[in-house]
Amino acid sequence: MTQQSAALPTATIAGYPRIGRDRELKKALEAYWKGASSQEDLIQAGADVRRATRERLSELGLSEANAQPSDFTYYDQVLAVTTTIGALPERFESLRTSTGGVNLDGYFTLARGEGDRAAMEMTKWMDSNYHYLVPELDENTTIDYVDSAIVDQVREAQEAGIAQRPVVVGPVTYLLLAKPSDHAGENFHPLDRLQDTLHAYGHLLMALHEAGVEWVQLDEPALVSDAWDVERQQVLKAVRDAYTWLSAIIERPQLFVNGSYGSLGDALPVLAATDVEAIGLDLVAGPVPANADLSLLEGKTVVAGVVSGRNIWRTNLEAALTTLEQLRDALPASARVTVSTSTSLQHVPHDVERETGIAPEIRSWLAFADQKVGEVLTLARGLHEGRAAIKAELDADAAAHQARAAHPGVNISAVREAVAAVTQDDRTRAPYAERLAAQNERLGLPVLPTTTIGSFPQTREIRAARASWRKGDIDDTAYTQAMKDEIAHVVSLQENIGLDVLVHGEAERNDMVQYFAELLNGFVTTQHGWVQSYGSRCTRPSILWGDVTRTAPMTVEWSSYAQSLTEKPMKGMLTGPVTIMAWSFVRDDVDKAQVADQLALALRDEVSDLEAAGIGVIQVDEPAIRETLPLRVADREAYLEWSVGSFRLATGSAAPQTQIHTHLCYSEFDVVIDAVDHLDADVTSIEASRSRMDILPAVAEHGFERQLGPGVWDIHSPRVPSEEECTTLLRAAVDALGAEKVWVNPDCGLKTRAYEETEASLRNLVAAARTVRAEA
Ligand code: GLN
Ligand code: ZN
């Protein structure tokens, strides 16, 4: 590294959406996977997305050298490191090319699996709704710099006249996100491979330097969490070792280590003591660090993430500027400040200007990725040239925030009073024993009752009917009839299969959150607001902007129609408050507990209406309660308090004879088992078959008083589980919990499955229940 190295510009962003303004990359990927387009077409589409991003960012004013991130990859940013360093799980060894890496098809095979080679596991990135592919490492995994895609992409930008800054997941985070492979020794931890990983990153840095790259961003979000399976001291040691080693490389770009999704905490002084040139702080998720820590940042650039990369609200420029000034004043005179986003903008859609369906007033409160770029640039000017330089922007922003605060829908006194009046009693049902007796008498179910999680296949016909209805090609009556026909079909199929507690199949729901967002007041939905969830998968979160109210029942018509078709109990289906929040963009002007309770009160009314319509079993899904668990252990108790509290408020008025179910979508049950217990649902269904009932020891050890339905059919693939397989899993559940507590159900909803495997699998599941029932 040369002495007169380029400074980082005064404004930057930590990353940008990769999927394309009109989801061009999604479309290109899916066409290629289907065999409907060539690899050249896909590569061209990738290049087009990168060019569009460069041009757009330049047009927005982010054109200085090193200001733009280079963070493109076809599927996932963690997978991009896996292929860069050639760390293939052993089952994929045959994909390795002569140069030690994988080609593009190999990259997709890692992500999507092939035949009996299971895809790499996918899991949630930090506390977001983005999923990454979990590296699998052991003592013998090859780790070497073998793939130049990261270098090639910056070269492409250079040729177009733009010096971009490559963004790469950092080595410590890469290893903390990894899991030991099936071949790893008992005491192996991925961090054991730090030195080899650093060698590979070292070669990457040298290759980037040779390509003329001046700055590289290494993302180290894992440092903000203390919930890893190693001691914090070991994490800090890895940070010290990694950045001492990497910064000692002579021929390298300058290093910008970015800590996002929370505070770096005690990792900040450790990084400060190394020779990295820049450190990124998330000042949205965490406070300005203590002066004592800031004083250690002599000569460094502090990249201040004051514009949220996680939500879609317009930044409060006044508050952000105050934070920046406070930071600058506390830093040594030799330190510099660059204004940035708190995280990559990959979590937000491209451009709010396109959302012409949202009322202009509400739209003026919002900022998507492109608007956030503008905010960063404005704040950088304000910080470096003084407040007067951005007076017009500050005034306009203050006016927008005032208008937002004064909007009648933002603060509805009846709603606030209802939340304020909630008592502990409202969150408490009758004792379980009393409920159990009442429910047994009312429902008369056999032991090991069978049910499903709610949705049945969302067929092409269902989606086509909904599309025609939205376009106005068919009217409300015709659409309702189409959905009722579907419900009738699903009910008779379940009766034929012999299930005990039936569902209506959720045909009328486009999505389990958006369906409710469209019916409740306080939300708006977007037309183009897609964000990447994983690979080519995108979601379009709704925006929760105001106080929540329910105008009319939302699900009663469908559920009571379904109940009218059968003598068997029909389960009503609702999405819980925490999941509605986790999968929406939630307002930032009131605390989450308030929002959760508002949603809970609306759902509570729905529960009462379902009961009044004669529905005796009601499921409130909370698949997201685990994913929004705070990254810092110390923050978890408060989170669980309000999240569990809101579920209890939603269900607390249910009569003893109404059976309340909940569903959770994951198998790492251990950390939240206490919380799940406190939900106080009568029946909890959870994912368990993929993990072969791994959860049972934890449940048995913890003790679980109420009923549990550990899934016996992994619905994530089209594979039909045999009757024996279901029987084996079920016997294990009965052994651990006792037959009287076990329910028999799949792992999750069936909306992504086809009818063929659904029917075959459910028949096997019912047969297994009968077999084990006879043994009990
Ligand atoms: N009731 C929903 C369904 O069956 C639950 C889905 C989920 O947990 N993600 O589709
Ligand atoms: Zn689920």
- Is residue 674's pLDDT more than 90? no
Q: How many CA atoms lie within 13 A of 676 on its CB side?
A: 32
Looking at residue 592, the DSSP 8-state letter turns out to be H
pLDDT band of residue 667 (cuts 50, 70, 90) is low
58-89 burial string, b = 16+ CB within 10 Å, else e?
Answer: bebbbbbebbbbbbbbbbbbbbbbbbbbbbbb
pLDDT band of residue 4 (cuts 50, 70, 90) is low
Told to judge if 716 belongs to the known catalytic residues of this protein, a careful annotator would answer yes
Place of tokens 């021929």: 251
pLDDT of residue 763: 98
Nearest CA to 42 out of 537, 86, 96, 50 is that of: 50
- Is residue 1's pLDDT more than 60? no
Read off the pLDDT of residues 722-745 as tens digits, 9 standing for 90 and up: 999 999 999 999 999 999 999 999
Please give the mean pLDDT across all residues of the chain: 96
- Is residue 187's pLDDT more than 80? yes
Read off the pLDDT of residues 439-465 as tens digits, 9 standing for 90 and up: 999 999 999 999 999 999 999 999 999
Place of tokens 């994912």: 687
Nearest atom of ligand 1 to the alpha carbon of 623: 8
Looking at residue 502, the DSSP 8-state letter turns out to be B
Residue nearest to atom 5 of ligand 1 (CA): 749
Phi, psi (rounded to 5 degrees) for 625: -60, -30
pLDDT band of residue 86 (cuts 50, 70, 90) is very high
Report, in angstroms and rounded to the nearest whole number, the Rg of the chain calculated over CA atoms: 27
Single out the catalytic residue among 199, 384, 489, 716.
716
- Reduce the DSSP state of residue 224 to 3 states and report it: helix
Residues framing ligand 1 (Cβ under 6 A): 453-455, 506, 512, 573, 621, 623, 663, 665, 748-749, 751
Nearest atom of ligand 1 to the alpha carbon of 749: 4
pLDDT of residue 654: 98
Q: What is the mean pLDDT of residues 632-646?
A: 95
Q: Are strands 542-550 and 520-524 parallel, antiparallel or unpaired?
A: antiparallel
Q: Which of 395-409, 498-512, 697-711 has the lowest mean pLDDT?
A: 697-711
Helix ranges restricted to H, 585-672: 592-612, 636-651
Question: Which residue type, as a one-letter code, is found at position 367?
Answer: A
Look up residue 215 and give its two tokens.
């700055």
Looking at residue 313, the DSSP 8-state letter turns out to be B
Question: Which residue type, as a one-letter code, is found at position 234?
Answer: Q
Neighbouring residues of 650: CB distance < 8 A, sequence distance ≥ 6: 574, 576, 577, 599, 600, 601, 603, 604, 607, 620
- For residue 28, give the H/E element and its range: helix 24-34
Q: Could you tell me what percent of the chain has a pLDDT over 90?
A: 92
* Distance (Å) from CA 372 to ligand 2 centroid: 34
What whole-number distance in Å separates Cα of residue 277 and Cα of residue 398? 35
Phi, psi (rounded to 5 degrees) for 738: 90, 135
CA angle 395, 396, 399 (to 5 degrees): 85
Judge whether 383 and 30 are in contact, CB under 8 Å: no
Residue nearest to atom 4 of ligand 1 (CA): 749
- Reduce the DSSP state of residue 501 to 3 states and report it: coil
pLDDT of residue 2: 44
Nearest CA to 279 out of 243, 228, 322 is that of: 243
Q: What is the mean pLDDT of residues 86-96?
A: 97
pLDDT of residue 3: 44
Question: Which residue type, as a one-letter code, is found at position 413?
Answer: S
Please report which ligand is nearest the Cα atom of 750. Answer: 1
What whole-number distance in Å separates Cα of residue 171 and Cα of residue 178? 11
Residue nearest to atom 1 of ligand 1 (CA): 454
pLDDT of residue 281: 98
How many CB atoms lie under 10 A from the CB of residue 547?
Answer: 23
Nearest CA to 707 out of 662, 766, 748, 658 is that of: 662
Ligand 1: residue of 451, 455, 751 to mutate (most ligand atoms within 8 A of CB) is 455
Nearest atom of ligand 1 to the alpha carbon of 573: 1
Ligand 1: residue of 458, 506, 512, 666 to mutate (most ligand atoms within 8 A of CB) is 512
The helix/strand count (H/E) of the chain reads as 27, 21
Helix ranges restricted to H, 421-570: 432-443, 460-471, 476-497, 514-519, 556-564
pLDDT band of residue 689 (cuts 50, 70, 90) is confident
- Reduce the DSSP state of residue 774 to 3 states and report it: helix
Read off the pLDDT of residues 275-297 as tens digits, 9 standing for 90 and up: 999 999 999 999 999 999 999 99
Please report which ligand is nearest the Cα atom of 621. Answer: 1
Q: What is the mean pLDDT of residues 148-158?
A: 98
Nearest atom of ligand 1 to the alpha carbon of 665: 8
What whole-number distance in Å separates Cα of residue 736 and Cα of residue 502? 26
Q: What is the mean pLDDT of residues 614-640?
A: 93
Phi, psi (rounded to 5 degrees) for 394: -65, -40
pLDDT of residue 264: 98
How many CB atoms lie under 10 A from the CB of residue 701?
Answer: 11
